[in-house]
Structure 1
Amino acid sequence: MKKNIILLSLLLVAIQFVFSCSAGTKTVEKSKANSFAKGADVGWLPQMEATGYQFYDADGSKKDCLQLLKDRGINTIRLRVWVNPSKNKASGHCSKEETVAMAVRAQKMGMRIMIDFHYSDSWADPGKQTKPLEWKNHTFSELLNDVYLHTEDVLKALKQSGVTPEWVQIGNEIPGGMLWPEGSTDNFNQLAQLLNKGYDATKAIDKNIKVIVHLDEGNNSKKFRWFFDNAKANNVKYDVIGMSYYPFWIKSDYKENIGDLANNLNDMSARYNKEVMIVEVGGDYTLEQNTHNMLVAVIKAVKAVPNNKGLGVIYWEPQGEKSWSKYQLSAWKSDGKPSMALDAFKE
């Protein structure tokens, strides 16, 4: 009898230990999901490395770019994916395979993952939403199928490699819609159907992935209200309102419109009962202190959204140093070292 009591006691202790570990894991996962996302979009990184670009820390030592970002507080990596991209340095890469490889690499370093679907073979933004060549002559019903299958295919490949992204963007900067002309905002009901196909494919992979709908000019309340009022009227399904914020492109200093950005973040969250996020931000790499101060102000504005509905801030291609990318809004210096602007993510 005494032996049985001892065995039973040991069994109870073991069960308690398992439940304790499980609860601890869930607590860590919950804490991670609830923490503020400090991110970097690094779609150019595989190309930069392939062309021999070297990254250096402040002391001059060579270092992995993702480690340099992590050392500066970055905990999230955003990756764009194109349907059938070319190999061109400026307008190619970002295939499913390259995206999966980068996501696996980032996750191994403890990074959270966002996937940005452009539904194009190259850049999609407010000025261009070109259908993939393979989809060019498809009917609208075929395009609906294309969006679902492409989204599903990429997310399945990620899942099979051990990565389930925390966020998925259905379209990139789509104030005028996507997959033009069928998915233009002139045909908002059709755009809504396309967006919902992306949403459904994402949730079929994992219902916990948060789906983002993303517009440019985060300080432009009128643009956002018009679009998301129409989205509501057409029953668009999504979880998060994503914004870009680039004072440089509207030829202003951030001090002139940071208040408008903050007001729009709060308005979008309250008006549609959604979480909000700055999924793209950037400043002139030559103005390090100004860009640092802008990032501090943006992070503060997102964190101030009531009820913890401000999820995070992501810098677009901070490592895309100008001599390689020809891009003015990186946060990297000509000597291959990170700009002090990125220290804003440490604070």
Structure 2
Amino acid sequence: MSQPRPPDPPRSAGLFDRQSDLGPVLAASEPHRQEKDMSSKRPARVIAGTTTLVTVVAAPLLVVPAPAQATFGTADIKPIESNIAAKPWASATGGSGSANAGLAIDGDPTTSWHPGGAAARQWLTVDLGGTYDNLRKVTAVFPDRGVAHRYVIEASSDGRRWKTIADRSHNRAVSRGEVHLFTRPETRFVRLTFTGGPGRARAGVSELRVFNYLRDDLTLGADLSWVDDVQDQQYWVAPLAEDRGAGPHLLDVAKDRGMQYARLRIFNEPRSESTGQPTPVPRQGPERSLASAQWIKQRDMGLGIDFHYADSWADPSKQPKPRRWAELDFADLSNAVHDFTADYLDRLIKQGTTPEKVAVGNEIINGFMYGSEAAHIGTTNPPYFVDQADVYQSKPGGGLLWKYWKSTDPAEQRLYDESWDRFTTLAAAGIKAVRDASPKSKVEIHVIVDKGTDGLAKTMEFWDQFLTRVKAKGQDPDVLAISYYPEWHGAPEALDHNLHTITTTYPGYEVDIAETAYPASGGDGSPVPGSPYPRTIQGQADAIQRVFQAANDVVNNRASGVLVWEPAGFQPMFRAVPELANTWEPHASVNVFNASRAKHILQDTVYTATTVGATPKLPSSIRVLTTANDKITGVPVRWQPLPPGATDKPGEVTVAGMTGAGPVTAVVDVVTPRGEHG
């Protein structure tokens, strides 16, 4: 469904300060994008690539820095780590028919699973809902303190064949938990089995956590179509430093900061959004985009092509036909879609720029290439589509008549079905063109999921109708993609739910987040609607990283990538440098592309115990897993001294430590010696 048109954004020196009207029409181009912060304020300069800071204080507390609140500043970006066992789609079962196994994965360490019967051979199995290739850490925490727990942890992809990842069946160390590092691709099930134990040890688990890390094959990138409009600007990692780093091309900085892939939108014949007249400079048109594709491939970045099948912006509220196709009969329109798509891909391939992925349409939840059916849709965008209705609405197109969805009126249901048939005929022509001209390219279909359950229901109806009908026409896409902007598409938890629903309903397809973005300023720093993250440099990094995490946590590794939409211009991750004309540098938040991937995974928590009045014995080294080679080694740790009296009474004490691979915490249970009371 279409969204209300937002006001035009403020202009500033930079990408939009051009004769072409493609920049200024951005406000009207994609109506679900209202936060266009192009502020001319120039606070203190950002030093991009800032090293992450960690504050360590004496026991018993580990203090983490608060998120930065400055408009421009640093960002504390840690590698993504996600407890899949706590996801809504994970479940737990336990031995002896116990009904409370879910308490072991509820995220609350004060609740526990306790099976009935003897401790030995009791088991707890966590089903993660699907397989994962980059699980690297399991943490087991037990309810009983001051005892030695004996157990084995195993992993499996199918629940039948198991591999041991931790054997503590002969454990004598007193502790109520341990962090175990492991590598086992295609893990779905994690099972903890108790093997008995001395004295008071009994079966029970407070928390069994299974941690996922960002996959190497999850592609992170951006739509960088405006790259054809920045030839007179220089982009540097640190433009005021003696060593400016990568640059001066925008793509040099983008690749250096971890963007692996760039998408280009293609307008058929670029025209003004308001008048429908050809723009003086045909930016994002086929010819200029050929050069942009070469720049991308010269840097060994992946290339995506996003056919809008329009002369200006196409999104959920506007999907105009290209002017040259507007008066074609429907059969000729279908042929034009095929031939234009195939011919352009052929040109890309001949110049050595075969795209990895091709999107047939952009955010086409409401169809595309609207024609005479627009009278039923009621669209008012773009202005030229309405003002020149005798041209653009003279023949049928591919607009969907959602107003008749679920109608019990036979005539309205017929109109609904006919609109779906026209739309999928055009879409199938585009898919076939990709298969014919560029069989190595994956085909993507890109929609949105509006806020609320009705939005997801509509999207699922879309996929059901679309996939059924294009298959009947002999075609099938590879990737089902959505956009995600919290102000329009819901909270991060809604994104998790939507991705899981799509993936598990249609398991034969990859899923993508084809567009996302978040502002680094504006609104006095308050979060945008639907988001918990402030509009700051830190908030921008956190919000975008949360989208990376959502994609990475999709079951069966089915998510293939996330693209940030126009990070050099829309809700930008770059800023102009006041001291240097036409020079731009990245915010520290752009480091989210590189910093989100873990190089080392620590045994970051050490559980141990000591008696009242005694000094705990803390290990001199802890384990670390290097992701590049899957090797687990030891790394020295330096512990902060305990403050006086820390163990004078029963309870819990935490001690901060530091290693060359990051911080670590010791959790010490202070217990009363056996035979004493207190």
Confirm whether residue 84 of structure 1 aligns to residue 269 of structure 2: yes
Instruction: Tell me the equivalent position of 1:174.
Output: 364
Q: Distance in 1 between matches of 2:221 and 2:450?
A: 17
Q: Deviations 1:234-270 (Å, cap 9, x if unpaired)?
A: 23521111111112446xxxxx611111111121112
Q: Does the CA-based 8 Å contact 1:242-1:279 persist in structure 2?
A: yes
Q: Distance in 2 between matches of 1:143 and 1:207?
A: 23
The structure 1 residue matched to 2:235, chosen from 55, 59, 62, is: 55
For 1:240, the aligned partner's letter is V
SS at 1:68 equivalent = helix
Confirm whether residue 102 of structure 1 aligns to residue 341 of structure 2: no
Instruction: Tell me the equivalent position of 1:268.
Output: 502
Normalising by structure 2, we get a TM-score of 0.43
Q: Does the CA-based 8 Å contact 2:228-2:289 persist in structure 1?
A: no
Q: Distance in 2 between matches of 1:312 and 1:102?
A: 21
Confirm whether residue 72 of structure 1 aligns to residue 257 of structure 2: yes
Percentage identity across aligned positions?
31
CA separation of 1:248 and 1:342: change in aligned 2, threshold 3 A: farther
Q: Distance in 1 between matches of 2:574 and 2:270?
A: 26
For 1:76, the aligned partner's letter is Y
The structure 1 residue matched to 2:566, chosen from 302, 317, 325, is: 317
The Cα of 1:149 is off from its aligned counterpart by: 0.7
CA separation of 1:306 and 1:216: change in aligned 2, threshold 3 A: same
CA separation of 1:218 and 1:340: change in aligned 2, threshold 3 A: farther
Confirm whether residue 297 of structure 1 aligns to residue 482 of structure 2: no
Q: Distance in 2 between matches of 1:53 and 1:223?
A: 43
Instruction: Tell me the equivalent position of 1:341.
Output: 589
Instruction: Tell me the equivalent position of 2:572.
Output: 330
Q: Distance in 1 between matches of 2:248 and 2:549?
A: 30
Q: Deviations 1:104-125 (Å, cap 9, x if unpaired)?
A: 1111101011100000111111
For 1:99, the aligned partner's letter is S
The structure 1 residue matched to 2:308, chosen from 112, 115, 118, is: 118
For 1:57, the aligned partner's letter is V
The structure 2 residue matched to 1:193, chosen from 403, 421, 425, is: 425
The Cα of 1:75 is off from its aligned counterpart by: 0.6
CA separation of 1:270 and 1:126: change in aligned 2, threshold 3 A: same
Normalising by structure 1, we get a TM-score of 0.81
The Cα of 1:74 is off from its aligned counterpart by: 0.5
CA separation of 1:183 and 1:260: change in aligned 2, threshold 3 A: same
CA separation of 1:223 and 1:338: change in aligned 2, threshold 3 A: farther
Instruction: Tell me the equivalent position of 1:240.
Output: 479
Q: Distance in 1 between matches of 2:238 and 2:497?
A: 37
The structure 2 residue matched to 1:231, chosen from 466, 472, 478, is: 466
For 1:55, the aligned partner's letter is Y
Confirm whether residue 184 of structure 1 aligns to residue 399 of structure 2: yes
Structure 1 gaps, min length 5:
1-33, 251-255, 321-326
The Cα of 1:58 is off from its aligned counterpart by: 2.4
The Cα of 1:289 is off from its aligned counterpart by: 1.3
Instruction: Tell me the equivalent position of 1:23.
Output: none
Instruction: Tell me the equivalent position of 1:6.
Output: none
CA separation of 1:55 and 1:217: change in aligned 2, threshold 3 A: farther
Aligned length: 299
For 1:203, the aligned partner's letter is R
SS at 1:234 equivalent = helix
The Cα of 1:189 is off from its aligned counterpart by: 1.0
Instruction: Tell me the equivalent position of 2:513.
Output: 278
Q: Distance in 2 between matches of 1:285 and 1:333?
A: 10
SS at 1:44 equivalent = helix
For 2:479, the aligned partner's letter is V
Q: Distance in 1 between matches of 2:564 and 2:325?
A: 31
The Cα of 1:298 is off from its aligned counterpart by: 0.8
Q: Deviations 1:288-343 (Å, cap 9, x if unpaired)?
A: 211210111111111111222110110111112xxxxxx4x222123221122221
Structure 2 gaps, min length 5:
1-215, 272-277, 372-396, 402-418, 522-535, 578-583, 597-678
The Cα of 1:92 is off from its aligned counterpart by: 4.5
The Cα of 1:208 is off from its aligned counterpart by: 2.7
Please list every run of at least 4 consecutive aligned residues from structure 1 whose deviation after the TM superposition is greater than 6 angstroms: none
Q: Distance in 1 between matches of 2:368 and 2:434?
A: 18
Q: Deviations 1:44-92 (Å, cap 9, x if unpaired)?
A: 111122xx33323224335221111111110101001111114748x95
Greater percentage in helix: 1
Confirm whether residue 37 of structure 1 aligns to residue 252 of structure 2: no
Q: Distance in 2 between matches of 1:163 and 1:54?
A: 24
Greater percentage in strand: 2
Q: Distance in 1 between matches of 2:457 and 2:549?
A: 22
- RMSD value, Cα: 1.9
The structure 2 residue matched to 1:308, chosen from 548, 557, 577, is: 557
Q: Distance in 1 between matches of 2:587 and 2:309?
A: 32
The Cα of 1:151 is off from its aligned counterpart by: 0.4
SS at 1:173 equivalent = coil
Instruction: Tell me the equivalent position of 2:668.
Output: none
Q: Distance in 2 between matches of 1:241 and 1:218?
A: 16
Q: Distance in 2 between matches of 1:209 and 1:266?
A: 25
